[in-house]
Amino acid sequence: MTIAEKIAAHYLEILKLLGEDPERDGLQSTPIRAANALLEATEGTNMTPEDVVGNVLFKTSSQGMVTVANIQFFSTCEHHLMPFEGLVHIGYIPNENVLGLSKIPRMVEMYARRLQIQEQLTEQIADAILTSSSALGVFVAISAKHSCMRARGVKSDGEMITTFASGKFFDNAPLQDQFWNSVRATSRG
């Protein structure tokens, strides 16, 4: 029996506990679909930054800030197993190397595809970029909407914003302002 089939068996029992008829038309394949969706939503669990970055660093003499803004992500709240989604903005100061541009959203995807909380996601992305590139500093900001807050409980449409600063960005208001100005510049037409 595959992992998906084992998870599907549990979803089948959950449907029964909810009083549903798992044999009705709309639910017949739901357990396996839900199992496959959960596996996809958590596929980053056993990946590492090394798996994503490999040896794709490029030499540079630049020490100017690199900013990658508006990286869309989807994740799953570890508290309620409900999705949250939003945008990640990343700035870093290179130290002789820059990451391949596509590696940055892949890093975000790897950490987002885990059972997760936003605060932890923010710090994990920053740490991975810092470690993978030996950057002189990293700043990560995430804004997200959480369905665990929007669809249940308080039912608020609020947006959560988290930030993490390290290295040259830590306690450096002018550099953080430069980061935010770069992010804002991406939203202009």
Return the CATH number at 10: 1.10.286.10
> Which pLDDT value is given to residue 170?
95
Q: Which residue has the higher pLDDT, 149 or 138?
A: 138
* Claim to verify: residue 94 and residue 29 sit in the same structural domain: no
The active-site residue out of 96, 123, 148, 178 is 148
Q: Distance of alpha carbon 1 from its chain centroid, rounded?
A: 30
Q: Evaluate whether 99 touches 129 at the Cβ level (below 8 Å).
A: yes
* Claim to verify: residue 64 and residue 81 sit in the same structural domain: yes
Q: Evaluate whether 96 touches 134 at the Cβ level (below 8 Å).
A: yes
* Claim to verify: residue 103 and residue 164 sit in the same structural domain: yes
Number of domains in the chain: 2
Is the full-model pTM beyond 0.85?
A: yes
* Claim to verify: residue 109 and residue 88 sit in the same structural domain: yes
pLDDT of 189 higher than 70: no
**Mean pLDDT of the 80-103 span:** 95
> Which pLDDT value is given to residue 149?
82
> Which pLDDT value is given to residue 53?
84
For residue 10, indicate whether it is catalytic.
Answer: no
> How far is the C-alpha of 138 from the C-alpha of 16, rounded, in Å?
48
Q: Evaluate whether 15 touches 22 at the Cβ level (below 8 Å).
A: yes
For residue 77, indicate whether it is catalytic.
Answer: yes
| pLDDT tens string 95-107 | 999 999 999 999 9
> Which pLDDT value is given to residue 106?
95
Neighbour tally for 66: CB within 10 Å: 20
* Claim to verify: residue 59 and residue 107 sit in the same structural domain: yes
Which amino acid, 76? T
Structural domain that includes position 147: 49-185
Quote the mean pLDDT of the chain.
Answer: 93
SS3 (DSSP) at 66: strand
The active-site residue out of 89, 116, 118, 124 is 118
Element (H, E) at 108: helix 103-112
* Claim to verify: residue 91 and residue 124 sit in the same structural domain: yes
**Mean pLDDT of the 135-157 span:** 89
The active-site residue out of 89, 109, 116, 146 is 146
For the beta sheet containing 137-146, the strands, ordered from the edge strand earlier in sequence to the opposite edge, are: 115-116, 66-77, 83-93, 137-146, 160-167
Confidence label for 4 from pLDDT (cuts 50, 70 and 90): very high
Sign of CA dihedral 19, 25, 26, 31: positive
For residue 23, indicate whether it is catalytic.
Answer: no
pLDDT of 50 higher than 70: yes
The active-site residue out of 78, 96, 120, 176 is 78
pLDDT of 188 higher than 70: no
Of 189, 188, 182, nearest in space to 89 by CA: 182
> Which pLDDT value is given to residue 187?
76
* Claim to verify: residue 37 and residue 66 sit in the same structural domain: no
pLDDT of 155 higher than 80: no
Q: Evaluate whether 43 touches 75 at the Cβ level (below 8 Å).
A: no
The active-site residue out of 20, 80, 123, 178 is 80
